[in-house]
Structures are given as C-alpha cells and as structure tokens.
Chain A
C-alpha cells in the first residue's frame, strides 16, 4: 500500500553559493531517498503517467523495482523505452508529462518520477552492463547529428547489428546536450560523456567536424560512401530575433551564441581561449528553458540578470523547476513585458532596452491568452547586454543540398510518425522535423526511426 508521506525533498546546492559556480544544482536522490519516494506510488491500475510519457516508460514497474531495492531491474524496465534516463531525468518537463498526470498531484504532490528516473540512470552509469557482443549484419547507416535523436537512433541500430557512423558538425559529440544545456543542469563529463561512451562501446563510430550539406551531402553518403540509409537528426537551427530596432548593436546576442560560448567553448574557464561578454546587467528576452539557461549562466558570470517575458508567469514555457531555481538564485522576472527597441550609445554598444507593459487578452488559436500592449506604458530597463531566447527557425542547409527532400512551409523536414521522409532511405526525427521541442521527444523519434530503418534495410 502506498505510503502517505510527503514527497521526498531532493538535496540541492545552496542557491547563494551555486549562483557563483557551474556545479550541478541538484544532487539527486540516494538509494534510501529513492526507495522512500518509490513507496509513495499508488501503482494505479490504469497508470496515467505512462500514457503521459512521450515514450511510454513503464513508470510504476520501474518504481516498484526501486522499492524492492532492485535498481538494476528498474534500469532494465526503463531501458526498454528510453536510452538516456540520466539525461531525461534531469531535463524532461515532468510537470507537463508523467508527473503532471500523477493522481497524487491532484490533491498533493505528484510522485517524483523524474528524480527517480535520474537516480536509476545515474546508478546504471556507475554500474554499467557488460557491453553485449553484437554480430554485424553487414549494413551501414549514417546518422546526421549527435544530439538526443541521433544518439538514440545510433544506439538502437547498433544493438540490431548495424554499422553506424554518426556525423557531427561541431568538434564535440552531444549536440544540444553539450552546446545548449549548461553544466549546472546537465554535467558534461559526469553524465553526457558517459552516456556517449556507452553508445561508443556498442561499436558506433563518431566523426566530428563533418557538416552534412557542406563537407558531405546526404546524396554522397548514400552514394560514394555506401550507406544503406541515413537518419537526419540535425536539430533546431538558426536563432530567431525580434526584428526590432537596435538588434544588431554590440551587446545583443542570441541565447545560442551566449550558451555555446559558455558550454561548448567553456568561455567561463580561463584555460579556454573563447571570449564571452556579460557586462554588468543582462536582460534575457524569452520564457523557455533556453532563456532560463542563459539568464542563470549570466548570473553565474557575475551579472545582474533579468528575464523579460511578454506573457504572465503561468504561461512560461520553461520547466517549473528551472523557474523556481532561477528565482532562488536571484534572477529578476519581469512578466507581461515586451521589448520594443534596443538602445545604444554613440559607439554602438547597448545601453538599455525599451519595453512596453502587456496585458492578457482573449485566448488565441494556441489556447494561450494572447498578450496585448498597454498603450503609453513604455519604459526603459538599463542594461549592457540583451540576449534573445526566442526559439529557432530550421537550418536550410540539408534540405537545400538534398534533392527531393520535402520540407514544410516553415522549413522543417517532413517525416511521418516512423521518421520516413519523402526520399527513400532517408529518415529524420527530432527538432529538425518538429521545430524546437524536448530531449525526450527527439530521443523517441530517433528510436522509432531506428525501427523503420531496420524494416527498410531488410526490405532491400
């Protein structure tokens, strides 16, 4: 019978201290804490959490294994549906997925599914399964991009016996897990590198510095290079800007640029050569996870940091936990505020951000109440850096250099539920198909595509 104790709190770094370092914020559960939390699960007959998980992890089953002290068993249950539990446990928006559907959440606090998943994932990294010996089936698959979609697809295909090569445009493997999500939320050496090593141990080859569409093309991979199929998991693309006056002043940058300098290039570590500019006061425009990552990175680099978002706090698309952590760290939130102009000095450097106040009107087609300007409410926030975290538009590089690869009006690659594109032998999944979404959805798309690729290659 389920235990009626409150949700087990997770240990975290003190906010005042962590706002000055890049160490991970959350320490995670130990076995004792995880077991105690596991005892809260009601084991519903019709588990709503499973239905709400984008990859339908059999949540009550793995929780049961934890409460039995069988962490290896829990890991095996998760592994059937997810290849990156230590990552998804950290970055999934649980409150709008599994935990959002938890019955316990109706009157109290939902079961901490994410924290338990993370515990199991981390345990598995520390206690790796022996690498299975897999006989090659003689078929070769190329994967474009080493982010969540590509990694998941590579891992599944390698287990089926495929010879897999992953091509990565940047100099490090991991995609958004490396260039986008900061160290304090997802440790690079401790977690991401270990997950990738597991995939490498399956025989997957990684080739960095290869920009598909430039260094090689989809056609040359299928042609001269002799791959039987290609999976495109190239990610989100080009950062969006608002199109307001002053956006090209010195000191205005995309969250992608700011985070890439900090995360991939490790600009905050003085051993590394890449510069980063934080100024004295940073304003980040946007309300998603990327905005939270940018504003908290700016804070850690010593700036006063503010979020400006045009809707209200309820509509913030970021994970609830990130918003909570950001507030604890002293980030200022200015809701219902929309920038209208970036102000600069005579030398072209940012001095401030002109904004208007907004109020919420009627719900729009997305169901969210659309923000409208309050006339005459102009005001200025003084700052020397403005970071735009407004999402991305698809990178046209692959579509433009691949014949007969259908794209949507928005420029995303068109693929069916199994990842099949308009080109035979070419599959796609993740943000490049859906537009910016989540790690778990990308991972799920990569796994589905792996099955479709297997089916396709066997039909040849």
Chain B
C-alpha cells in the first residue's frame, strides 16, 4: 500500500498529495509520470509527477478533481493509502541525457498551464540544481487557480504569471505573454509547454511563428501505461506512437493535436454518466427505475 504522508489544497479542486513510494522516488526523472489506483474498484489514472524525494522515499502528485476517479484520489487523507502507485512511466525529458555544458548554454522557456504547472516544476528544479536557470511562464484562468508560484519562484530564473482575467500578472493567455516576452527582445532556444491540450496546441503555433523548437507533454488516455493497451496512441509526424512508451514528451511540431484532443474524449459519455451518478448518490438520491445500473 502507498501511504499518503502529506496533503495540501493548492486551489479550489486542486490538491497536492505526497505519497510514500520509495522505489519510484529513487528512479523518477523529470518528464515521467505515474499511474494511481485509489482503491480496489478504481481506475488506473495516469498523473504527472510534481516532485520526488529519494531520501524521504516520497513522490508528489497534483490532481484536479474532475471525474469520479480523480475525486476518489483527492478524497484520500493523510494516513490513508492508495491501492496502487506504479511508475515512473514514460521516457524522461530529452534534456536529462544532454551534456550539462550544452544545457547551460541553452535558453529555455517553460510554460505551465493550470495543473500542467506541476510537472514543469521537477524539470525546472532539475535544471536549476545543475546551474541552468530558465524562464517560466505560469498561466491560469484567474489568480485563485494559480498553483506552484512560490515553489517555482525558488528554482526559476525569471517567473512570469498570466491570468485570463488579469487578476494577477499579465492579462491574457500564456501565448500572448510568450509573444510579448519575445517582442521585448528575450531570446529562447527551446520551449517546453505542459497543460491542457488546447493550450499546448496554441503554444506550438506561437512557437512555430518564431521558429522556436517546442516540446509538449501529452496526457492521453491510458489503461496499463506500459505499452500493452495502445489506448494512448497519438499521431506524431504521420506515424502512430504510444504516449506511454514513446512519450509522454514529443516534438510539438510533429503532434496531431486535433486527433489527440478527440481521442481524449473517447470515454466522455461514460465518464459524465458515472460522475452524475456519483453526485446523485452523494446527495442521497436513490434511483428507483434502475438508471444507475
């Protein structure tokens, strides 16, 4: 069992959970993810790794409660345990295997959108620990939904905030902020964007305008996460790849985002139905005509 050793509320519906998983903590690298199953009836949910600490044997995840399964995950309290935490899965970020001297000469800009900010953190931290200072843009709908700003502040070279409603930092989307920074004369050699698929698609289009190489981390549907099921297949430069073993990070220019977004919706009807049933149960409603069967 994987015990929860710390839990924090980061924003409404967004939780940070630190879990005891020593084997994963020892092996995790930036860019990888885990699969979490809350209890014996639970779904295997792929989640990005927000932090890891080999000494403490802990792995941190940030989860937004959206469906039945993510709600189960965030409902677990300190002292309770998840049935399963498996990982680290996927390939580490490419920069992990690049020579440090080369990385020190490279100017990175990381863009995190919503809960996608969490997996940006271990990447920026890993680089900072090796003396590579990078720029980071964090975007959210509004000030209250911003996460990881303080943690990021400690490891980023420059931190920029964008909110859709202008309640904090730049008023507008992360793409507009990126264009503004470039317009002001900032130069980058590599952009890494993690967030909602739609954000990654538009960051890619923006990056293309400036011929700025771009990497995105795809959050495809998965069952096993080890290459066995193929649910996570995406089209990369015209070829089918498995997000779990070939990714999750890909060259953004090669990604068929429209297909990837459509494939994310494969089980939406079932998910919405399950959520509606769970809500009604929570409110004490009992279906008399068997629609919950």
A interface residues (Cβ-Cβ under 8 A, vs B): 169-171, 179, 208-211, 214-216, 237-239, 241, 243, 247-248, 250-251, 253-254, 256-257, 260-261, 264-265, 270-277, 347-348, 395-397
Contact B227 A241 (CB under 8 A): no
Most buried by A among B42, B85, B266: B266
Contact of A348 among B32, B233, B259 (CB under 8 A): B259
Given A275-B270, A275-B271, check contact A265 B43 (CB 8 Å): yes
Please give the distance in Å from B245's CB to the nearest CB on chain A.
7
Contact A273 B233 (CB under 8 A): no
Contact A237 B229 (CB under 8 A): no
Q: Which residue of B lies closest to A238 (CB)?
A: B227
Residues on A with beta carbons closer than 8 Å to the beta carbon of B37: 171
Q: Which 10 A-B pairs have the closest CB atoms?
A: A275-B270, A257-B229, A209-B86, A254-B230, A275-B267, A171-B84, A273-B43, A348-B262, A239-B230, A274-B43
Please give the distance in Å from A371's CB to the nearest CB on chain B.
24
Contact B69 A241 (CB under 8 A): no
Q: How many Cβ-Cβ contacts under 8 Å join chain A to chain B?
A: 119
Please measure, in the bound complex, the distance between the C-alpha atom of A395 and the C-alpha atom of B223, giving whole angstroms: 16
Contact of B87 among A171, A215, A254, A257 (CB under 8 A): A215
B81 in the interface, Cβ–Cβ < 8 Å? Answer: no
Q: Which residue of A lies closest to B45 (CB)?
A: A273
Please give the distance in Å from B71's CB to the nearest CB on chain A.
10
Given A209-B86, A216-B23, A237-B228, check contact A250 B263 (CB 8 Å): yes
Can you list 30 pairs linking A and B with CB atoms under 8 Å apart? A169-B86, A170-B86, A170-B224, A170-B226, A171-B37, A179-B224, A210-B86, A215-B23, A215-B27, A215-B86, A215-B88, A216-B23, A216-B27, A238-B228, A239-B229, A248-B259, A250-B263, A251-B266, A254-B230, A256-B229, A272-B43, A273-B68, A273-B72, A275-B267, A277-B270, A348-B262, A395-B227, A396-B245, A397-B227, A397-B245
Residues on B with beta carbons closer than 8 Å to the beta carbon of A169: 86, 224, 226
B285 in the interface, Cβ–Cβ < 8 Å? Answer: no
Please give the distance in Å from B122's CB to the nearest CB on chain A.
16
Interface residues of B in 41-86 (CB under 8 A from A): 41-44, 68-69, 72, 83-86
Q: Which residue of A lies closest to B72 (CB)?
A: A273
Contact B85 A209 (CB under 8 A): yes
Contact B229 A277 (CB under 8 A): no
Contact A171 B242 (CB under 8 A): no
Please measure, in the bound complex, the distance between the C-alpha atom of A260 and the C-alpha atom of B44, giving whole angstroms: 11
Residues on A with beta carbons closer than 8 Å to the beta carbon of B270: 275-277
Contact of A257 among B24, B231, B293 (CB under 8 A): B231
Contact B23 A210 (CB under 8 A): yes
Please give the distance in Å from A396's CB to the nearest CB on chain B.
7
Contact A260 B23 (CB under 8 A): no
Contact of B242 among A238, A260, A271 (CB under 8 A): A238
B274 in the interface, Cβ–Cβ < 8 Å? Answer: yes
Residues on A with beta carbons closer than 8 Å to the beta carbon of B167: none
Please give the distance in Å from B127's CB to the nearest CB on chain A.
22
Please measure, in the bound complex, the distance between the C-alpha atom of A214 and the C-alpha atom of B27, giving whole angstroms: 7
